[in-house]
Amino acid sequence: MMRRKLITMLLLLAATVAWGQTEKRLVVWQKSGEKVYFDLADLPETTFEDGKLVIKTNQATVSYQLENILRYTYQGFVATGIEQQANDRTVTISREADEVTFGNLPEGSTVGLYAANGMLLEQFKTNAGKTFTLSIRHRPSGVYIVKAGKETIKLTRP
């Protein structure tokens, strides 16, 4: 009887500890409703190539057609400071790959638009809690790079 109580208590303790831990991960939200998770310990690196989201980790490399992706977010981060902010930072690429929308960037984040040769074309500061959309629809045909924090995204204008 005592052994059963001890085992039950240990299981409850283990479940409580496991429940309290939040894994830090990258989540790819697909239009089919499926979510694919990448543990940040595997160091996922995101790039965009030929209409695909490419995720390279120290385990494998996978790619998804942009037309099948709703967005990708980061989960498992706790906001600090007085104001509570959403835990998920989002990046959404338009179907045509000529517009990118960032959600939940920190206050004062810098978003830069660069030509393919690396020349800075435009630079913006963001407001906390607001979405920020950058479009290249008004630009000449070509390849453009958008940088926001550690995110680097390639946009194309046919």
Q: Are 70 and 30 contacting, i.e. CB atoms less than 8 angstroms apart?
A: yes
| Record: fold of 22-157 | Immunoglobulin-like (2.60.40)
Domain ranges of the chain: 22-157
What pLDDT, in 10s, does the model give residues 28-83? 888 888 888 888 778 788 888 888 888 888 878 888 888 888 887 777 654 433 33
State the pLDDT at residue 120.
93
Q: What is the rounded distance in angstroms from the CA atom of residue 73 to the CA atom of residue 58?
A: 19
Q: Which residues contact 46 (CB under 8 A, 6 or more apart)?
A: 26, 53, 54, 55, 72, 151
Higher-confidence position of 112 and 152: 112
Q: 29-38, 80-89, 104-113: which range is least confident on average?
A: 80-89
Q: What is the pTM of this model?
A: 0.47
Token pair 């959309």 in the structure block, residue: 133
Query: How distant, in Å, are the alpha carbons of 26, 28, 55, 151 from that of 36?
Result: 8, 5, 11, 19
Write the single-letter amino acid at 60. Answer: A
